[in-house]
């Protein structure tokens, strides 16, 4: 079980708190305090095996990519740990990092005593006070700029966009400040900020609340982008993003917040630059992320019944791509299908297609196929909304054509 270790630089600036917090008195639902859980660090394999390692209590450990021998059908009930919904996993990761590092703070609309629009910050204002969990006015450009300034002074802010579409109002701050200040300052400033929030096509939320901003932000130099898809990787990516000295945008899908999964009791942190092997296979590589992971896995059941053996990879890291994992898969299957909810023009799929063609063209036996959302504003009507997003039947048809 391979694992990589990341070293954090840390920051020297201290944050004065309006309320003291005793982690020893906080009992989590699964019966262990945060300080007790922090005492032992683990390497968690994709098969659910847990290896304790107290010597790594202050280091980041990445999750190993699944191998052919890993069981994709292991049920959550057979794994140790506790069950959480995805929004609860994000909350747990955020709470653990706030307890571990007093420099971590949160800001955004209704993140305080209301607990956030999807309850990711529920209860944190009571525990950590209004200075560390800061309610802001409805002014995305202002509080995003404030968060970037806080990061420049040594804090580690998490900026929540109530909806990712609203962060277009802060595009100048994210592009010209967040992504470039480390370079334009000659390395004098680090920008350890996390920008996160719900996005994607929901259930009749209308065009303005159904934005997929991956395509907008991917071209900004200096920014990393990751997309969570399960409670397990949501928590692990949240913790890794907070500890990173780079600005990280964490994309959460509005329809995945109530997914339930059993995750380890012990602390774990995932790599921000590593894809996840969801299902090993031989016939075709299917690359996907976020909500489309579940459309792909639904299609995979049909494909297996028809005699196909698809390999499914959740790329997770939208910038940079994990070309090591992707490349090994392409060399094995020689066929690639990309499935995304992003727009077709200038989307993640377009960038991924270019990267694969540039690096692995000689291994391809067929042109890369990319299934994306249609280049139209997302309709409010439910039936029309469905038509704009890739459905499992389209994935089945695409694989059948690719494997002819």
| Residue 18, in any domain of the structure | no
Q: Which residues contact 331 (CB under 8 A, 6 or more apart)?
A: 360, 363
Q: Are residues 189 and 315 in the same domain?
A: no
Q: Residue 266 catalytic?
A: no
Residue 365 and residue 8: Cα distance in Å, rounded? 42
Mapping DSSP to helix (H, G, I), strand (E, B) and coil, where does residue 227 land? strand
Residue 225, domain extent: 80-263
Domain end among 263, 286, 304: 263
| Residue 237, in any domain of the structure | yes
The catalytic position among 88, 92, 109, 140 is 140
Is the previous residue joined to 320 through a cis bond, with omega within 30 degrees of 0? yes
Cα 20 to the center of its chain, rounded Å: 31
323 CB-contact burial (10 Å; exposed 0-12 / middle 13-18 / buried 19+): middle
Q: Are residues 236 and 120 in the same domain?
A: yes
314 CB-contact burial (10 Å; exposed 0-12 / middle 13-18 / buried 19+): buried
Mapping DSSP to helix (H, G, I), strand (E, B) and coil, where does residue 340 land? strand
| Residue 40, in any domain of the structure | no
Cβ atoms within 10 Å, residue 101: 17
Domain end among 229, 263, 297: 263
| Residue 207, in any domain of the structure | yes
221 CB-contact burial (10 Å; exposed 0-12 / middle 13-18 / buried 19+): exposed
Cβ atoms within 10 Å, residue 36: 14
pLDDT tens digit at each of 404 positions of the chain: 333 333 333 333 333 333 333 333 333 333 444 444 433 334 333 334 444 443 333 333 333 333 333 444 444 455 689 999 999 999 999 999 999 999 999 999 999 988 888 899 999 999 999 999 999 999 999 999 999 999 999 999 999 998 888 999 999 999 999 999 999 999 999 999 999 999 988 888 888 888 888 999 999 999 999 999 999 999 999 999 999 999 999 999 999 999 999 999 999 999 999 999 999 999 999 999 999 999 999 999 999 999 999 999 999 999 999 999 999 999 999 999 999 999 889 999 999 999 999 999 999 999 999 999 988 888 899 889 889 999 999 999 999 999 98
Q: Are residues 245 and 384 in the same domain?
A: no
Which residue intervals of 63-213 are DSSP H helices? 86-100, 124-128, 140-152, 171-172, 181-184
Q: Are residues 295 and 248 in the same domain?
A: no
Q: Are residues 103 and 227 in the same domain?
A: yes
| Residue 364, in any domain of the structure | yes
CATH number at residue 391: 3.40.50.920
Q: Are residues 243 and 96 in the same domain?
A: yes
Q: Are residues 133 and 229 in the same domain?
A: yes
Q: Are residues 254 and 297 in the same domain?
A: no
Domain end among 230, 263, 296: 263
Polymer length of the chain: 404
| Residue 244, in any domain of the structure | yes
The catalytic position among 182, 209, 253, 283 is 209
Total of domains in the chain: 2
Q: Are residues 245 and 312 in the same domain?
A: no
Q: Are residues 280 and 258 in the same domain?
A: no
Contact 337, 371 (CB under 8 A): yes
Cβ atoms within 10 Å, residue 39: 14
CATH number at residue 159: 3.40.50.970
b vs e for 262-275, b when ≥16 Cβ sit within 10 Å of the residue's Cβ?
bbbbbbbbbbbbbb
Q: Are residues 286 and 350 in the same domain?
A: yes
Using the structure block, give the residue that is written with the tokens 């054509």: 401
Q: Residue 295 catalytic?
A: no
Q: Are residues 211 and 116 in the same domain?
A: yes
| Residue 321, in any domain of the structure | yes
| Residue 249, in any domain of the structure | yes
């Amino acid at each position: 079980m391979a694992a990589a270790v990341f070293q954090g630089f840390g920051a020297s600036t201290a944050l004065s708190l309006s309320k003291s917090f005793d982690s020893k008195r906080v009992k989590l639902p699964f019966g262990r305090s945060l300080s007790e859980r922090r005492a032992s660090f683990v390497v968690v394999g994709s098969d659910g095996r847990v290896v304790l390692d107290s010597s790594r209590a202050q280091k980041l450990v990445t999750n190993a990519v699944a191998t052919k021998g890993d069981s994709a059908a292991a049920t959550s009930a057979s794994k140790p740990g506790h069950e959480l919904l995805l929004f609860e996993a994000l909350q747990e990761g955020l709470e653990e990092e706030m307890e571990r590092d007093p420099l971590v703070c949160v800001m955004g609309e209704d993140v305080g005593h209301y607990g956030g629009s999807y309850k990711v910050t529920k209860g944190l204002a009571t525990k950590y006070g209004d200075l560390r969990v800061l309610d802001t006015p409805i002014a995305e450009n202002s509080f995003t700029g404030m968060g970037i300034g806080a990061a420049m002074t040594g804090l580690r802010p998490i900026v929540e966009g109530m909806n990712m579409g609203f962060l277009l109002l802060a595009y100048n701050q994210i592009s010209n400040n967040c992504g470039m200040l480390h370079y334009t300052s000659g390395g004098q400033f680090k920008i350890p900020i996390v920008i996160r929030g719900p996005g994607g096509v929901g259930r009749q939320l209308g065009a303005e609340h159904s934005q997929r901003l991956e395509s907008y932000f991917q071209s900004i130099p200096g920014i990393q982008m990751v997309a969570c898809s399960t409670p397990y990787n949501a928590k692990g990516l949240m913790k890794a993003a907070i500890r990173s000295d780079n600005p990280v945008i964490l994309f959460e899908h509005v329809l995945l917040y109530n997914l339930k999964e059993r995750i380890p009791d012990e602390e774990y942190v995932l790599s921000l630059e590593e894809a996840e092997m969801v299902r090993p296979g031989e016939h075709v590589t299917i690359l996907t992320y976020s909500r489309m992971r579940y459309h792909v896995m639904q299609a995979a059941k049909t494909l297996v019944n028809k005699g196909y053996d698809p390999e499914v990879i959740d790329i997770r890291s939208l910038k940079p791509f994990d070309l090591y994992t992707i490349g090994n898969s392409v060399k094995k299957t020689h066929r690639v299908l990309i499935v995304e909810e992003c727009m077709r023009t200038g989307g993640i799929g377009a960038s991924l297609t270019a990267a694969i063609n540039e690096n692995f063209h000689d291994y391809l036996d067929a042109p890369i196929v990319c299934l994306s959302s249609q280049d139209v504003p997302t309709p409010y009507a439910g039936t029309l909304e469905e038509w704009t997003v890739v459905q499992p039947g389209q994935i089945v048809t695409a694989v059948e054509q690719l494997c002819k």
